[in-house]
Chain A
Amino acid sequence: MTATTRAGLLGLAFIGALTVGASVIAPHDPGRQFADLSYAPPMRPHIFGDGGRVHRPFIYPLRLVDRLEHTFVEDRTTRVPLEFLSPGTLVTTDESRGPWLLLGGDALGRDIFARVLLGARLSLGVSVAAAVVAIVLGAVLGAIAGYRGGRVDNLLMRAADFVLVLPAIYVVIVLRGTMPLVLTTGTVFWTMTAILGLAGWPYPARGVRAVVAAERQKEYAEAARAVGAGSLRILLRHLLPAARGFLAVQITLLLPAFILAEATLSFVGFGFAEPTPSWGVMLHEAGQAGTLFEAPWLLAPAAAMVLTILSLHLVSAGSSYSSWEDRA
């Protein structure tokens, strides 16, 4: 295992832990609106007080100066201590004394940190589900093409090449366009899973086809056939396991594309919708004219996205299977 792969896996473990533990780690409910903290800047936890004395970790609460201009001052006279392991959350503050918005607040004064964490569940959840669909679909179709050969192979691979050439986001947008515009969160989740899976299958399919077509010529496959194993058994027990390494790398190549697709769909309004937190939904707010200038911390979900995709790329960078062709 190379150093880059190890760094990538470490990053993925970190992101995975934050996502799984999101509801415990988030200091506030992602839907909770703090009316006086609209576009509040990020609040850094402190240890040193004004006199240079060391305290338990605390924050200075923000006081609204101008509601229209969204200007705030730190109230340096009061210290709101962080409360560790209070019921339900890991770290939070007493909301009545001053809520703690680690990454600042959005237009409605909601906790961006909590929304990024909870949003990861939807954004990464839909990407992982879609990757599973694409891998399974690609493995099945690729295996059929590689095992059968001839006309079936030709037809399937032509179809795969065709989808590969198309700009992925347009395929996804057009497929999504055939559905009703307003859907519930649950329906959006499964619709998006299906659409991304349909758009993503050619990538694993081509590789699996190549592996299966090469392996079925080998002696062990011949031997299995000679002792009377059926086609399905040969495929599942003998040939497909040879493509396991390839498929593992494919997951790390499909996930970045799917994370981006979720963000793009939700960003333009074809995906998840307010008030559900997802990275794309949050970026939609950042993309509104003027808001970014006032509150650059709205880009927090973009940072989370880049970190996740970077970790995935680092994992696949060391692998011999990875090529840009699979990543485009």
Chain B
Amino acid sequence: MQTGVRRYLLRRAGFAVLLVFAVSSASLLLAHLAPPGDAFGTDPAVLAAERHRFGIDRPIGEQYLDWLSRSLRFDFGESMRFHRPVAALVRERAANTALLGLSALGLATAIGLPLGVFTGSRARDPLAIVARAASIVILSTPSLVTSLVLLLVASRTGWFPAGGLPRIPLDASVLDTVAITTRHLFLPALAVALPIAAAIERLQSRAIHEALEEPCIIAALARGVPRHRVVWRHALRLSLKPVLAIYGIIIGSALSGSFVVEIVMSWTGLGDLMYQALQSRDLYLVAGCAAAGSFGLAVGILLSDLALVAVDPRVEESA
């Protein structure tokens, strides 16, 4: 591997570590600023005793350093609201969000990328014009709206379960488990995926359009290589860079989208937990959720950086 590429990847890894550290620290400190909530009920004596037990009556600096040193040993404290270790709570919920987020990303890429290549390579095809229009409308329909509409469709038709985590019978086989999970996952994943798919389509469409004007592509066409082969093999590879370059942001918007979908479709994930933690001023749980979320984000960004290097090794140092 060239030193330039290695330096670039090292820098990005440093950024990822900083991301997790800064996000979880900032959310702990911000949550500390908040006026006390109702996690312990309203009796002032109980409140004071519990605050003492969790150590949140100490000065913020001391409390933060204590939290930091324990987090480095993967002890994220105890949730004040659920009376359970934060790590266990977050692990359960993070798995649900990861399942939802990853299937949504996969679905969005599977729909958006080929559609973008199609609309970008045939500007005047009536089918492409329809697809472009549909994509702008879907781009304007946020996951909040999509999930409500899908909920309505589901409750009217009964085709798919209207959200909620699947309850898998204990004696279910592996195949059954997959089938049940897929059925329950479909609507939430679609709600998260649709706006992202539209965004990828728009971006890919423009990228392929620009790639088709590159001299090497025109040369390939002039040599008589069949057009669809030029588009799907050569131009596609050239055009992947802009989409991959913002995959980090796409992962972020998948997390944003899953926040609201989790709440609308009662998919008990990280977003739902984070919201409850913030509402009840559950400091360590807020920080734990933020750490888990930013960790997922950081891993995603690193993976997209790696993919970027694989597609086009000419990474710029400024990127």
Contact = CB atoms under 8 A, between A and B. Distances in A.
B is bound to A = yes
17 contacts: A162-B19, A169-B259, A170-B256, A170-B290, A173-B274, A174-B26, A181-B37, A264-B259, A268-B260, A283-B144, A293-B155, A299-B148, A306-B137, A309-B142, A310-B140, A325-B246, A327-B199
Interface string A289-323: 00011001001001001100110111001000001
Contacts of B264: 287
A264 B148 contact: no
B179 interface: no
Interface string A147-159: 0000000000000
B30 A310 contact: no
Given A260-B142, A310-B140, A168 B256 contact: yes
Given A328-B199, A328-B246, A286 B148 contact: yes
A103 to B, nearest CB: 16
B132 to A, nearest CB: 10
Interface in B19-34: 19, 22-23, 26-27, 30-31, 33-34
A167 interface: yes
Interface residues of A, number: 44
Contacts of B252: 165-168, 328
B19 A263 contact: no
Nearest to A256: B140
Given A169-B260, A309-B142, A328-B252, 10 more contacts: A165-B252, A165-B301, A170-B271, A173-B275, A181-B37, A264-B144, A268-B263, A268-B275, A310-B140, A328-B199
B250 A313 contact: no
B153 to A, nearest CB: 10
Interface of A: 162, 164-170, 173-175, 177-181, 256, 260, 263-264, 267-269, 283, 286-287, 292-293, 296, 299, 302, 305-306, 309-310, 312-314, 317, 323-325, 327-328
B140 A309 contact: yes
A148 to B, nearest CB: 18
A170 B259 contact: yes
Contacts of A313: 136, 139-140
B152 A169 contact: no
B215 interface: no
B35 interface: yes
Interface string B222-241: 00000000000000000000
Contacts of B17: none
Contacts of A168: 252-253, 256
B115 to A, nearest CB: 14
A135 to B, nearest CB: 20
B319 to A, nearest CB: 10
B124 interface: no
B145 interface: yes
B290 A181 contact: no
Contact of A324 (B22, B203, B248, B271): B203
A317 B136 contact: yes
Given A178-B31, A287-B148, A165 B140 contact: no
Given A324-B202, A325-B246, A328-B252, A174 B148 contact: no
- State the 6 A-B residue pairs at the shortest beta-carbon distance, nearest first: A177-B278, A310-B140, A167-B255, A167-B256, A309-B140, A169-B256
A122 B33 CA distance: 28
Given A173-B259, A180-B35, A181-B37, A325 B275 contact: no
Among B249, B255, B271, the most chain A Cβ lie within 10 Å of the Cβ of B249
A175 B31 CA distance: 9
Nearest to A312: B140
Given A260-B144, A292-B151, A302-B149, A167 B253 contact: yes
A90 B297 CA distance: 51
Contacts of A292: 148, 151-152, 155
Given A167-B293, A175-B30, A260-B142, A293 B152 contact: yes
B247 to A, nearest CB: 11
Nearest to A177: B278
A299 B253 contact: no
B53 interface: no
B279 interface: yes
Contact of B149 (A162, A260, A268, A299): A299
A177 B34 contact: yes
B148 A328 contact: no
A110 to B, nearest CB: 19
A253 to B, nearest CB: 12
Contacts of A286: 148
Contacts of B83: none
A7 to B, nearest CB: 11
